[in-house]
Amino acid sequence: MVVKFVLVWFIVQLLHGDLVIPRVIGNRLQVHPITILIVLLVMGDLLGIMGVIFGIPIYTLLKLLVVFAFKKFKQRYNKYYGDKGEYEEADFSEDDYFD
C-alpha cells in the first residue's frame, strides 16, 4: 500500500513539476516552457537555489528590456529612413513587449 502511494505521489510530482508548472508560467509570461526549464537549469547551476528562485524573473526582465530596445531602435530607424514598418506607431504598453 505504501509503495503504491509513493509511486503515485512520485508520478504526480514529476508531472506537476516538469510539465504543468512550466506550461502555466510560460503561458502567463509568454515564455516557452522549454525556455523556462533551460533557464531554471542554467541559473540553478550558476547561482544555486538563488538562481532557481530569481532565474525566471531575471530572464523575463531581460526579455522585456531587449524587446523594448528593439522596438525603440526600429521606431527611430523608421523615423529617419522613412520606412513605414509595423513599429512606427508602436505605443509601448506592457502588451506590446511580448510576442
Q: Is 67 exposed, middle or buried (0-12, 13-18, 19+ CB in 10 A)?
A: middle
Q: How far apart are CA 76 and CA 66, in angstroms?
A: 15
Q: Is 5 exposed, middle or buried (0-12, 13-18, 19+ CB in 10 A)?
A: exposed
Tens of pLDDT, residue by residue over 36-68, are 889 989 999 999 999 988 998 899 899 889 988
**Is the confidence at residue 99, as pLDDT, over 70?**
no
Residue 9: the pLDDT is: 83
Give the structural domain span for 11.
Answer: 2-97
Residue 97: the pLDDT is: 55
Is the pLDDT higher at 82 or at 3? Answer: 3
Q: How confident is the model at residue 27 (pLDDT cuts 50, 70, 90)?
A: confident
83, 77 Cβ separation under 8 angstroms: yes
Domain count, the chain: 1
